[in-house]
Amino acid sequence: MLSMLKLPCSGGEIIVIGKKAEDHYRTWEEIFVQHTLVSADIDIEQNDVVYLNLTSGITGIPKAAITTHANIYWNTLSAVESLKLSHDDVHLCMFPVFGHPHELFARPLFMGGTIVLIDNISPKAIVRAIWNHGVTCMMATASIYLSLVRYYGSHSLNLKTLRIAESGGMHTSSTLVQNFRESFKVPIVPVWGSTETAGISLVSPVDGLYRPNSTGKPCAYYEIKIVGEDGRELGPGEIGEMAIKGPAVCSRYYGNPEETAKHMRDGWFFTGDLAKKDSDNYFYFISRKSRMMKVAGLKVFPCEIEEVLNNHPDIAEAVVVKVPDRSRGEAPKAVIVLKDGAEIGKSEIREYCKERMSRYKVPRVIEFRNELPKSPGGKILYRKLERMVDSAFAKASADKG
């Protein structure tokens, strides 16, 4: 495909994989047979800006985090040590190239390892890439691992080279971790990271005990704490906002002093994520602050309802968002994708929930869909679902008025 493009380029060269469209283009083969390499005459400092790393915007408007060479270096070193990577590893990163682009190449480049690139997130394409190239380390969202489990149900798959299945970008349920291990004999490694931390900053120990619904322990070179609404650091079991500090953490947003002041304070990045930790320093993601709802004055976190729903044998995927409720202020709405061939009604789902949670947490509204809205990298677009709820509520209010 690249050989067919007419790319404007001055002061540089176009390197092509495959057949050349123009004689002045260079091929990979021609580059590799060169006997001399000339180093670029460029002075690079560790705090020089590499690029503007954009947040995904799945719960709001994207922000551009100013990312330096030092940020990328320290995050890469942290990931290498925390995941115990080596130069023998073959990496497959399923995050889209426009989101966290350094995560596609920084680790294998740092280790002198190998990277596999594919432009298709279908289970068939992923399995083929792992099999053909001997992939050992994979990074993807929980949705992609779920698609592999569902694909496994009707196909015979062999992922024997895979040793690390790193799951980040969204909550990874304990049910998915268990189903993936049963299907492929490979443990999923839940992680937590963000644009502002230049990548993962929490990781489940690759050779340690997995704790259900935990995102693991702080990675090397990161300091993490849970903070209450009064700014006080909270102890084990207390839910508050997660704040992160370290040399890989970005210092500000480009052209956005308001959001910088809100999230970057005294060297700490305040994530906007609610979490808790246990006495062994394992952290547990609870919810985005913006997604938490108050039902009749009581705090309700979508993840705990989603965890129950995703354990149901007939449910493939479930997401919970908040909807306005005249008597309670807010109420949970469940958006559900059933497994192929499954037949179950809303009343049955509510009864299932009532047996496993307090009644005020049981979804008041249930909607069935064929699929959930997702980003190109597999993240669920919560904001899109919330906008649809806002639009429907506004329309209903207008009709009644």
Domain assignment present for residue 19? The answer is yes
Q: Return the CATH number at 79.
A: 3.40.50.12780
Domain assignment present for residue 330? The answer is yes
- Asked if residue 336 lies in contact with residue 315, where contact means CB atoms within 8 angstroms, the answer is yes
Mean pLDDT of 121-140: 93
Looking at the structure, do residues 67 and 197 belong to the same domain, yes or no? yes
101 CB-contact burial (10 Å; exposed 0-12 / middle 13-18 / buried 19+): middle
From CA 364, how far away is CA 280, in angstroms rounded? Answer: 36
Domain assignment present for residue 59? The answer is yes
Determine which helix (DSSP H) or strand (DSSP E) holds 243, and give its type and residue range: strand 240-245
If one counts every other C-beta atom within 10 angstroms of the C-beta of residue 357, the result is 17
Residue 374 reports pLDDT greater than 90 = no
Number of domains in the chain: 3
Q: Which of 370, 335, 365, 368 is nearest to 350 (CA)?
A: 365
Looking at the structure, do residues 315 and 283 belong to the same domain, yes or no? no
From CA 246, how far away is CA 47, in angstroms rounded? Answer: 14
pLDDT at 400: 44
Looking at the structure, do residues 384 and 310 belong to the same domain, yes or no? yes
Looking at the structure, do residues 208 and 284 belong to the same domain, yes or no? yes
From CA 148, how far away is CA 286, in angstroms rounded? Answer: 25
Looking at the structure, do residues 374 and 308 belong to the same domain, yes or no? yes
Tokens standing for 401? 């008025």
Looking at the structure, do residues 175 and 281 belong to the same domain, yes or no? yes
Domain assignment present for residue 44? The answer is no
Percent of the chain with pLDDT over 90: 51
Distance between alpha carbon 254 and the CA centroid of its chain, in Å?
22
Looking at the structure, do residues 332 and 347 belong to the same domain, yes or no? yes
Looking at the structure, do residues 162 and 218 belong to the same domain, yes or no? yes
Looking at the structure, do residues 259 and 381 belong to the same domain, yes or no? no
Segments forming the whole domain that contains residue 162: 49-288
pLDDT tens for each residue of 150-205: 888 767 777 889 999 999 888 888 889 999 999 898 889 999 999 999 999 999 99
Determine which helix (DSSP H) or strand (DSSP E) holds 322, and give its type and residue range: strand 315-325
Q: What is the mean pLDDT of the chain?
A: 86
Looking at the structure, do residues 279 and 349 belong to the same domain, yes or no? no
Looking at the structure, do residues 63 and 105 belong to the same domain, yes or no? yes
Full-model pTM: 0.77
Q: Which of 50, 138, 46 is nearest to 100 (CA)?
A: 50
Report in angstroms the alpha-carbon separations of 129 from 103, 114, 147, 318, 383: 18, 13, 15, 28, 32
Residue 10 reports pLDDT greater than 90 = no
Angle at 307 between CA 301 and CA 308, to 5 degrees: 105
* Alpha-helical segments (H) within 169-218: 174-184
Residue 4 reports pLDDT greater than 70 = no
